[in-house]
Each structure stands twice: as structure tokens, then as C-alpha cells.
Amino acid sequence: MNMDIVERKRLVTKRVKEKEKKPKFVRQESWRYKRIKENWRRPRGIDSKMRLKVKGWPASPNVGYRGPKEARGLHPSAYKEVMVFNIDDLSRVDPELEAIRIAACVGSKKRVEIIREARERGIHILNVGEFKEPEEATAKST
């Protein structure tokens, strides 16, 4: 499944267009009671009309609503996400097709090193956040 970035962008836009046609799945009777949020929960009651798929009741998620197979797992930027925990993980990343997401457990010192190395290699970073150079580097130069 090796395809270029243009093909991947086309697949991502196709996924978005297909998603627009699908219903917004809501929790059973969330429209009736203020205390029940719309977050999807599977209907499990023995007399549940949604579980029985009665005509006129909202649709439940099922396999027919899945997105295109080639577009699954792709970030909206059309890159495949790769989780990175240290600098060595960058060597396994293909900058043309993959983008990195720095793990939340990575500290600020190592995060700065990973970001610097990724930019040198031309790797796209999905969660840079507010990137600032460490104070030590700016203090030494003055």
C-alpha cells in the first residue's frame, strides 16, 4: 500500500465527503431528556426501539458506515501517524509518507531535541505545540 502524498490527500478528502453523508449517531432518547448527553452509547434495553432497528428511530453505527479502507489511519494532513518516544525512533520514519506525534510522556528537554532533529530531517510534526528554545542555549550566547 505504498502511494504518494497526492493520492493520500485525495483519499482523505473522499473520507471527509463520505462522512458528511453519514448520520450523526446520538444516544437513545438524548433528545427527550436534558440530563442525557448526546454521546453515543449502545442501546441495550430489552424493548429498545433503536436496538431493534425500528423504522423512524435513529440509526446505530455498524460496519456499513466505515470509511474507505485506504484512508483509515491517516491523519487529516494525509500523513500516516507514527508515535515517537526518543530520537532513535526518528530513524524509522519516512518523511514523504509519515508524520510524527511526540508521546505525552516525553519531557521538555528530550522534546526539544526530537523537534530539532525532526526539522533537520524534514519530518512533519503533528503536535509541536508552543515550541521554545531552552533558556540555556540563549543564555550562553549572550
How many folded domains does the chain comprise?
A: 1
pLDDT of the residue at 137: 54
Is position 128 within any domain?
A: yes
Count, residues in the chain: 142
pLDDT computed for residue 29 by the predictor: 94
User: Does residue 24 belong to any structural domain of this protein?
Assistant: no
Mean pLDDT (the chain) is 89
Which residues lie closer than 8 Å to 48 by C-beta, 6 or more apart? 28
Its pTM stands at 0.69
Residue 11: CB atoms within 10 Å: 19
- 7 domain residue, yes or no: no
The answer to whether residue 32 scores a pLDDT higher than 70 is yes
* pLDDT for res 86: 94
| Angstrom distance (rounded) from CA 30 to CA 50 | 12
Task: Note whether residue 119 is domain-resident.
Answer: yes
- Encode burial over 84-120: b for 16+ CB neighbours within 10 A, e otherwise: beeeeebeebeeebebbebeeeeeeeebbebbeebee
In a domain, 47, yes or no: no
How far apart (Å, rounded) are the C-alpha atoms in residues 20 and 59? Answer: 15
For residues 136 and 89, the model is more confident at 89
Q: Give every strand in the sheet of 98-102, ordered side by side.
A: 80-84, 98-102, 124-125
- Distance (Å, whole) CA 125 – CA 5: 16
**Structure-block grid coordinates of residue 82:** 507514527
**pLDDT band at residue 128 using 50, 70 and 90 as cut-offs:** confident
pLDDT at 142 over 70: no
pLDDT for res 129: 78
Q: Which pLDDT tens digit goes with each residue over 39-98? A: 999 999 999 999 999 999 999 999 989 888 888 889 999 999 999 999 999 999 999 999
| pLDDT higher than threshold 70 for residue 9 | yes
User: Does any domain span residue 10?
Assistant: no
Residue 26 — left, alpha, or beta (φ > 0 → left; ψ -120 to 50 → alpha)? beta
Structural domain contains residue 5: no
Average pLDDT over residues 13-32: 93
CA distance 122 to 59: 44
Q: Which residue has the higher pLDDT, 88 or 132?
A: 88
Is residue 104 in a domain? Answer: yes
Q: Domain span at residue 97? A: 80-141
> What pLDDT, on the 0 to 100 scale, is given for residue 133?
66
What are φ and ψ of residue 82, in 5° steps? -130, 125
